[in-house]
Amino acid sequence: MTAIPQGRTRRAVMVTAMCALAVTGTGLTGCGSEDPDAGTNGVGKLPAATIQAKTKKAADDAKTVRLSGTVVSNGTTYTLDMRLKSDGGTGSVTSKGASFRLLRVGEHLFLKANAEFWAHQDGKSGGKPSDTAAADKLEGMYVKVPTGDPAYKRFSGFTDKDVLLDGLLSLHGDLATDGHHDESGVRTIRITGDKGSGGTLDVSLQGTPYPLLLSRAGNAGTLRLTDWGKDFALKEPSKKETVDYGQQLPTS
């Protein structure tokens, strides 16, 4: 048996260790000449601005998406779990300890919450319902929100796929790529605005380049975007489940 020179053995060990560190650092690639974009959709090789344009187009073209996580707006943190399509959306919103469900079909927006939510809104705004009994009647019912009510403008955006994504998917500042990553088992390329201070976005390297994970600028929330193109039923609640509140809701 021919002996392997000791120097060569040491070099082999060092190369192996460096490869292991490279794999650990990215979770995706080896070292040497291995191509991190091999077998992908190829967007990882593109400039950051081009990647952003492609992922925005992919999001626009998709018929549906599920969006979950947190959004900070005007100092208020909202925890969302919404399923969206072009003509409406449905899901849950939690803010300041209060949870409620939203459902929009076309222009018709419905809000469903418990009695505590309605009683809290009454105490804050001084509007209807005027007592606990009235709040109890609204518990578990879908309350139809008038289009002219401040609550309509406040909440309908959470159910609007185009408006919500257009406002969320733009990174601020100079765009750059920030390596290959992994999001729930899917290989991604990360793009950043102003080295991350303007937000980061992980874009799928498998199949259509959908946005998968967004960290908003200024610590304004983190959102996961999943179930792209997976259809779901969207219909108005029955009359037995619905209350048409009338002129103004106690949510302003």
| Domain residue limits, the chain | 41-102+147-231
Distance CA 103, CA 111 (A): 7
For the cut 60, the answer to whether the pLDDT of residue 236 exceeds it is yes
CATH number of 41-102+147-231: 2.50.20.20
pLDDT tens readout for residues 92-125:
999 888 899 999 999 999 999 988 887 766 544 4
User: pLDDT tens across 193-202, in order?
Assistant: 999 999 999 9
From residue 246, alpha-carbon distances to 149, 218, 250, 251 in Å are 10, 39, 11, 13
Give the pLDDT band (50/70/90) at residue 26. very low
Phi, psi at 225, each rounded to 5°: -120, 115
Q: What is the pLDDT of residue 81?
A: 97
Q: Provide Rg for the chain, Cα atoms.
A: 24
DSSP annotation of 42: S
User: What does the block give as tokens for 204?
Assistant: 């799928």
| 139-197: pLDDT as tens digits | 889 999 998 888 898 899 999 999 889 888 889 999 999 999 999 999 999 999 999 99
Nearest 5°: the CA angle 81, 26, 168 is: 30
